[in-house]
Amino acid sequence: MRKISRRAVLLLGGALTLTALTGCWPSGSSSSSSEQAKNAVKTALKAAVEQNGNSYTLVENKALSAKARAILEAYLQDVEDEYTDVYDPLTVTEVYQIDEFVGNDDFGTAVFSMPENAVDPRAWEKAANVLATGWLCYYQYNGNNVEFCVEIVKQEAADGQGEAANYMVIFAKRHYGQDGGETWTPPKL
């Protein structure tokens, strides 16, 4: 077998990094792979909800994706402040409930690093099971609905020197009950 020189490896790595940063993947478009990865997460989440016999229904709200960048930035600040972590979907065993506020809305948020095969729902099974059994249920409203959104957000390094990273941002909107005078009614759980 022929050895590849260190210089060739570095040049190849640089070329791949440049194509990743510009979004010009050699085989197909990165936007289609992003959609495939988001669909893989949604498929895994819905399967986990069904498998675990949860009594709620996931209701996707794609309009919430406009808030994903602000939610990620708030979440990464919480990571920096050591309140939470960016989870690895392949090894996660527990997700702590973190609420991020964007405008007047409150979102339960979990952020995951991107696994190597992010377009395969099996890569998200462990994360989906953890979210379905111990996290999403806190965001039920109108009986048994959970309004959620899945989005991939690219985050540049704060110093402008590091590599950009893609994060899978999964969040559910918290619905508050009505204010009935002196009695505050929380959402039905």
pLDDT value of position 21: 39
pLDDT value of position 52: 81
Task: Give the tens place of pLDDT for each residue, 128-157.
Answer: 999 998 889 889 888 789 999 999 998 876
For residue 169, is it within any domain? yes
pLDDT value of position 157: 64
Residue type, 114: M
Quote the domain boundaries for residue 68: 28-176
DSSP label of 94? -
For residue 61, is it within any domain? yes
pLDDT value of position 80: 93
pLDDT value of position 176: 81
The three-point CA angle 20-1-19 to 5° equals 5
For residue 12, is it within any domain? no
For residue 115, is it within any domain? yes
pLDDT value of position 68: 95
Residues of the chain below pLDDT 50: 1-29, 181, 183-185, 188-189
For residue 17, is it within any domain? no
Total number of domains in the chain: 1
For residue 48, is it within any domain? yes
Rg, the chain, Cα only: 19
Residue type, 49: V
For 80, the token pair is: 């920096």
DSSP-derived 3-state class of residue 90: coil
Residue 18, φ and ψ in degrees, nearest 5: -65, -40
For residue 138, is it within any domain? yes
For residue 80, is it within any domain? yes
User: CB–CB of 149/68 below 8 Å?
Assistant: yes
pLDDT value of position 93: 94
